[in-house]
Structure 1
């Protein structure tokens, strides 16, 4: 529990920690009001049952002298006492409602903040991180684990502090108000709760890990099933995916069922001990020769205290089980942010994205120089790229070809700035782009192999990530025209504002590709990089798009990985990669005459 608090404290920002202590102050007032509430009921019962004893008490005599109230007697005293009780408990109820609202709002605001922080951390993480972890896991962490952390760790921990204060306050009232033998039952009552929590600690942690694993499996199966629905229906594999979902969901529900039983059983056990304790106290008091005027006030305060303590113990045990069960979510968010937020503070890559000097500018008028660039993926034994030395002149078109696994995409990712070279540098007109990566990336238009479209309008997909009010309509129109989207836009009822559906499902492959090309051109880039951008298209559509890309070249520098050699035939130079090294470099015709592997590729066309 202490470890959970430390992790939670580390996740909170300074302002959030201050607000937490303010919240503790509110909870302290709530605990004091509960103490008064427990104390005032036995006093009122004594006033009604034994008015003479009440009026002869030293506290009442002092009160009457202070207020000068000779009228504080008889029925008037009962009326006044009833009014005081009414006002106090209405005030207490309203304060408790307000306190609950503040606690819930605090926890939910932290959930929102943590979800955003974790998402931002994932976006800022090196691209190699995303190659290591699947999107299902990251989506689950953002959408589920942060919410679970808020609802089942932070909120229960806040409530745990509140209920513990109330429990301690009522315990103090009992210590000061009841005979010593009555306190024996109080010790038993509290020991039962702490013993139960200690026994459950390990088991709840294991259940939490099992629950987290099955939540991930449920999300994975649902996503895979919906994304591959066409092939699944064709192969008639619906039952396979349904059964996988059913198995994981059944286990998840079984864990939740066990949790509910545990949370229901413990309060009932506490209630049983409380009743036995109350009966035991009654017998002890009467056996000790005490009269009703002594027994009834003691029993009333003990009974009221037990009822309130039972509620607090129920809440504390519920909070404890929730925290232990959902502690895995706390670990995931805490460890994830601890690991990833360093990229927002210390990595050279991230620092370069947030340029120290806003007046800095990367000038690209001459060449891109790759100097002895090598790359090894984290955890890999061998380098994917080794000692790449290439000089690319401004305005050149460079084709990148080679066998599968030769390092083509890795080279492109390094040029894009999403991977940092393990060794070597990339210089642009003598400037190291690693020091100004954000400025370099603004000069790049990228057309990926895997088309990415959001469920929005054509305009929103072209100006990806720009708020609707900030989209430059003229730039969108120019990019759409350059990508030969004009005909498509004209025949759509809403033109550029037409919503294309998830992953552009309402468009053809060529139309989707043209939207991605328009996106690459939206910022009028100086460098155009294509990663097998036409590999999924038919030959006719591919040739049409290649012609369009050639017409867009102008004075742009173009680098393209080609699936088909026909795509790079008109390139100024071709790099042939083999086993992570540049095995040959030259024009299409030069390689077709002199390089054996390239010749075999041309023969296979």
Structure 2
């Protein structure tokens, strides 16, 4: 259990830790008022059961002298009103304590989900490719929520419940040591029995639930992504059944957890009720007066009213923490991969003369063969370069190395004859325009897609229109009812693939890149449109272009053409200049 506390504590910054101290202080105040509220019932019951105390008890006599209240009725009303006000104020403190903890938890959920999204956006490209997006979506939207509800909130409730329990326990010890120890022993035996019976089961259920939830996210996203293929092939039943089976298993898992979580509260209630009955029988059969017995039983009954919810919170919190431990450990591993996204540690790099790759070696993992080994080539600034080759020879990998997305195992990259580290270098990447084979669009207007990531009030609309004309997109947009404000549907399904590629090229050019990387970026365009777009780029933009393409039509525009060829020796692809 302690290791889970340390994990969640490790996810907090200094501000969080200070706020946690405030919550702890609030819980202590809440515990004190719980005790005061319980203690206030004792004089009230005593006066009702033994009216003669108002004339013999020194504290009641002192109260009468201080307040000036002399009548029995006045004392009863005063003690009853005081007890009511203390209980009322205690409940207000309890609600405030819960609100402070809840507010802290949800603010932490916001912070952690934002941090996790940032981690994913800054993560290593190869590591990013090894994990499914459905799992990332689940981690951000569902797992963070589970960690807050099942771990952080549970821990805060456990701390608060423990403080209240300790204070009430100390109070009851001062009232009747023997009876309190008997009740405590009974509750501890019940707790340890429940712990031994449920601990491993809850842990296994939590791991199973996390896996099932991941499967469900994946299955839903896959089904929606393949909607067209599913509809045409009439295979919707397969995907619905797969989803239904996973969801049914998750429901069954959750029902088992809920069943187990119902046990402790019921057991503790039975133990507490049985203990109070035993105390009542003990007093009734002992030599103590009936009035004294009534007072003690009333005291324990009211203590149980405040104690049972606190003890129940402790048990419920324990179960939630056990159930959510698998997800907590998984997210802790994700946050351990957090990297700084600052650019202070990277040199400022700008291509003015030439970009050289010298003796580059790269493979995707230790078990795979080399993609490149001893690869060397040169790209001149402000020229149009074309890289060709068969599928799988490493053309896209070459662009990813140049873009700083992949890190070579060996070799050097030189910008203007200066060796530099381009891998994850934000100063270098901010100068690039990159158009991948599949252009990804957001569900927003064409303008917002071209000026991706730029605040709406700073978008240069004239610049967008100029670029749209150069990539042959303007006329099509003007034929639409909403023009440049036309909104893309999910993944651009209401635009053709060619139009989507034009948007991708326009997006890259809008950034005023120094180096433009094009990866099969015109393969959906007809030859005439492709020619027009490439000629406009060469004529209107002063930049270096590296264009990966299968199409011979692209080569005619190039100042330099490289052909990548796979070798049979396991030494990766070799380069030939054409």
Relative to structure 1, is the Cα distance of residues 381 and 499 closer, same or farther in structure 2, using a 3 angstrom cutoff? closer
Aligned residue for 2:550? 563
Aligned residue for 1:335? 333
* CA apart distance, 1:328: 1.7
Is the contact between residue 364 and residue 429 of structure 1 (CA under 8 Å) also seen in structure 2? yes
1:521 lines up with 2:509 in the alignment: yes
* CA apart distance, 1:365: 2.2
Aligned residue for 2:7? 7
Q: Helix, strand or coil: the match of 2:379?
A: strand
What whole-Å deviation, never above 9, does each CA across 1:466-516 have from its counterpart, x for those lacking one? 121222223322322221111022122222222122111111121111111
Relative to structure 1, is the Cα distance of residues 54 and 268 closer, same or farther in structure 2, using a 3 angstrom cutoff? farther
| Partner of residue 260 from structure 1, selected from 236, 258, 261 | 258
Relative to structure 1, is the Cα distance of residues 316 and 503 closer, same or farther in structure 2, using a 3 angstrom cutoff? same
CA distance in 2, matches of 1:284, 1:202: 39
* CA apart distance, 1:434: 1.6
Aligned residue for 2:486? 498
| Partner of residue 314 from structure 2, selected from 313, 316, 326 | 316
1:372 lines up with 2:359 in the alignment: yes
Runs (5+) with no aligned partner, structure 2? none
Relative to structure 1, is the Cα distance of residues 55 and 502 closer, same or farther in structure 2, using a 3 angstrom cutoff? farther
Aligned residue for 1:603? none
CA distance in 2, matches of 1:223, 1:8: 30
* CA apart distance, 1:64: 4.1
Is the contact between residue 389 and residue 550 of structure 2 (CA under 8 Å) also seen in structure 1? no
Is the contact between residue 483 and residue 548 of structure 1 (CA under 8 Å) also seen in structure 2? yes
CA distance in 2, matches of 1:381, 1:401: 23
Aligned residue for 2:533? 548
| Partner of residue 271 from structure 2, selected from 270, 273, 287 | 273
1:586 lines up with 2:574 in the alignment: no
* CA apart distance, 1:256: 1.1
TM-score (norm. length: structure 2): 0.94
TM-score (norm. length: structure 1): 0.90
* CA apart distance, 1:185: 2.4
| Partner of residue 233 from structure 1, selected from 227, 231, 234 | 231
* CA apart distance, 1:58: 3.3
Aligned residue for 2:564? 577
* CA apart distance, 1:265: 2.2
What whole-Å deviation, never above 9, does each CA across 1:389-448 have from its counterpart, x for those lacking one? 111111332222223322211111011111122112211112334269222222221111
Relative to structure 1, is the Cα distance of residues 27 and 210 closer, same or farther in structure 2, using a 3 angstrom cutoff? same
Aligned residue for 1:442? 430
Q: Helix, strand or coil: the match of 1:558?
A: strand
Relative to structure 1, is the Cα distance of residues 365 and 187 closer, same or farther in structure 2, using a 3 angstrom cutoff? same
Relative to structure 1, is the Cα distance of residues 319 and 530 closer, same or farther in structure 2, using a 3 angstrom cutoff? same
Aligned residue for 1:219? 217
Aligned residue for 2:520? 532
Aligned counterparts, 1:128-277, within 5 A: 128-277=126-275
Aligned residue for 1:408? 395
CA distance in 1, matches of 2:32, 2:180: 23
| Partner of residue 499 from structure 2, selected from 511, 522, 527 | 511
User: How many aligned residue pairs are there?
Assistant: 571
Question: More deviation in 442-451 or 207-216?
Answer: 442-451
Question: More deviation in 204-213 or 275-284?
Answer: 275-284
Aligned residue for 1:488? 476
* CA apart distance, 1:542: 5.0
Q: Helix, strand or coil: the match of 1:7?
A: helix
* CA apart distance, 1:182: 4.8
Aligned residue for 2:58? 58
Is the contact between residue 205 and residue 327 of structure 1 (CA under 8 Å) also seen in structure 2? yes
CA distance in 2, matches of 1:7, 1:37: 36
Relative to structure 1, is the Cα distance of residues 15 and 379 closer, same or farther in structure 2, using a 3 angstrom cutoff? farther
Is the contact between residue 156 and residue 320 of structure 1 (CA under 8 Å) also seen in structure 2? yes
| Partner of residue 477 from structure 1, selected from 449, 457, 465 | 465
Is the contact between residue 500 and residue 507 of structure 1 (CA under 8 Å) also seen in structure 2? yes
Is the contact between residue 475 and residue 523 of structure 1 (CA under 8 Å) also seen in structure 2? no
* CA apart distance, 1:546: 4.3
CA distance in 2, matches of 1:483, 1:168: 73
Relative to structure 1, is the Cα distance of residues 288 and 86 closer, same or farther in structure 2, using a 3 angstrom cutoff? closer
Question: More deviation in 50-59 or 251-260?
Answer: 50-59
* CA apart distance, 1:264: 1.6
* CA apart distance, 1:582: 5.1
Is the contact between residue 369 and residue 572 of structure 2 (CA under 8 Å) also seen in structure 1? no
Is the contact between residue 458 and residue 499 of structure 1 (CA under 8 Å) also seen in structure 2? yes
What whole-Å deviation, never above 9, does each CA across 1:148-175 have from its counterpart, x for those lacking one? 1111110111011000111111111111
Runs (5+) with no aligned partner, structure 1? 345-349, 588-605
* CA apart distance, 1:567: 3.1
